[in-house]
Chains A and B, each alone.
Chain A
Amino acid sequence: MSQTILEAENLCKFWGGLKALNELNIEFKDKQLHSIVGPNGAGKSTLLNTLCGAYPATSGVILYHGKPITHLKGYEFCRTGIGRSFQKTNIFHNATCLENCCIAAQQRIGGSFNLFRKRSTNRKIAEIARSALEQVGLGARADTKATEVSYGEQRQLEIAMVLATAPKVLLLDEPMAGMGHEESQTIISLLKELKKQYCIVLVEHDMDAVFELSDLMTVMVDGQHLITDTVDNIRNNPLVQDAYLGNDDEVF
């Protein structure tokens, strides 16, 4: 059995009176792809944002390798090994693809407070950045400006930037959002490779992709954990069918 890397205990995130996350308990294991699904407004994105430190939790604990990290500041989550990609493409448009990854890699390598060393002279950073680009299949685009690559490639770059930070956990927020079928296939085969090395938490609306990729699935409804199980069990679970197709008219 693989080891649990990241877990949440009684995690709550309230927006005023709205309980976006309500007493959520969940754990993520190494080298598994664990997807989170649920109707719109179930709190999937909030969960990711809380797990990566972008939103401070209202209460509850986040454990990384068994150590609580809830008190850390937003930027410190990345340093502990939790990398996240964004739902909306969130890259540095004016920089080249390589430079985008260099920014990500430099955080880990250090020297960011060096006012005088030319950024281009740090080989180590460029190497990490280049290998991250190659990992997602963007090696040929290294010197192209991020605005000039296609939308699908920007989504790949988004993931490459996370990889360049050398994370243990990848929190991926809809990596296939707005993609065509072929572009999605690229990401799917990429994620299949990545899950051999990383613990991946995936929030995704493309259910075919989710069923194809997931080792474990969690269904969330109204900020609460409904069920966590394997893909086959989830498919046939009446509770899940109820949540999606039942009383609410919320259909994916």
Chain B
Amino acid sequence: MSIFANKSEKIFIYLFFAIGLFIPLFLEGNTFYINKFSTIIILAIFVMSLDYLVGRTGLITLGHAMFYGLGGYIFTILAPEYEAVNFWVYTFYVMLISGFIALIVGLIVLRTSGIYMIMITLALAQMTFYFFADSIEYGGQDGLFIYIKPETSIFGLSFLDLDNETHFYYLCLLSLFNCFVFFKIIMNSSFGRVIDALKENPDRATALGYNIFHFRLIAYVLASSLAAYAGYLFALQFGFVNPSMMSWDVSATALVMALLGGLGSIYGAIIGSFVYEGLHYFIEHLTEYWMFFMGALIIVLVLTLKYGMAGFLNNLSGGKRS
């Protein structure tokens, strides 16, 4: 059994990463587009973590951007201002600390479900947003700057220079790939079996002897720390963090992307992010009223494609829905 759920997923993933690997060669140092792709890939990691939470675990949150923002802030606050730190070490710190925060937050929010969980995650995210927006120490609305990017050596060997756009692009692509593989592995695992069960029928899962709270908590912590990792990459790319990263519309937009891609399909998160950002880019150039047309288009897409883009691709390849 392969890790792929169906044929269209396999084809998409192979194609996407093959094209992804070679695209910088065609762009020949056009840093604008390379940066653009990096940004969308980072976004895709964030959307993927949300897709896992909403689509696989059935936990609907409107506060996921909180961890996205925290990922950036944790790094910026922890790292010394004028010294290059190690990227991998700080990846570990960022994910560990955000995971710990997610554990505490999860203990609170996972006591609720449905609309109540949406409201309470939103409330917590907005609290965090205003905490950073009003703080003097952390730069308020302007946020904080990252003056020196981390170095990426492992045992003294360094392959990536984060100041180089192409290098950074490959780091993002590798991260997205790892993220995808990670989610596929945990979905196919024994843990994933329980997650599938409690998403479909939490009462029955409880009757079978599972403490569903523990499983939800683990899923929440995993998804949140990966969201923080995405936020950390975002901060590194742009060299600053500010509170707008964790504003509620970031969560909502990510939710739209996940929906567009096909909720719970994981690889749909990649499609959703690229389609959304692609549409955004093109429509923005055509008209002033891009938001209006974008909204209309999304409504049409969501209504016509029941299982999102991933479901559409699956139908095209003649596969059964899984």
Interface residue ranges, A against B (CB under 8 Å): 52, 54, 73-79, 84, 86, 90-95, 99, 102-104, 106-108, 111-120, 122, 161, 165
Residues of B within 8 A of A113 (CB): 190-191, 214, 218
| A73 CA to B213 CA, complexed, in Å | 12
| A168 CA to B214 CA, complexed, in Å | 26
**Can you list 25 A-B pairs with a CB-CB distance of less than 8 A?**
A54-B203, A75-B207, A75-B211, A76-B209, A78-B209, A86-B204, A86-B207, A90-B203, A90-B207, A94-B196, A102-B193, A103-B194, A103-B196, A103-B197, A106-B194, A107-B208, A107-B209, A107-B210, A112-B210, A114-B190, A115-B185, A115-B189, A116-B189, A118-B188, A122-B190
Residues of A within 8 A of B210 (CB): 75, 107, 112
Any A CB within 8 A of the CB of B186: yes
Residues of B within 8 A of A99 (CB): 193
Any A CB within 8 A of the CB of B205: yes
| A10 CA to B212 CA, complexed, in Å | 30
List 7 additional A-B contacts (Cβ < 8 Å) besides A106-B194, A107-B208, A112-B191: A52-B207, A90-B204, A91-B201, A92-B196, A93-B200, A106-B193, A115-B222
B-side interface mostly: helix
Given contacts A90-B201, A92-B197, A112-B194, contact A103 B189 (CB under 8 A): no
Any A CB within 8 A of the CB of B1: yes
| A114 CA to B197 CA, complexed, in Å | 15
Any A CB within 8 A of the CB of B140: no
| A120 CA to B209 CA, complexed, in Å | 20
Number of B interface residues in the complex (CB < 8 A): 28
Residue of A nearest to B212 (CB): A75
Residues of A within 8 A of B197 (CB): 92, 95, 103
Least distance between B56 CB and chain A CB atoms (Å): 12
Residues of A within 8 A of B194 (CB): 103, 106, 112
| A52 CA to B204 CA, complexed, in Å | 12
| A119 CA to B196 CA, complexed, in Å | 12
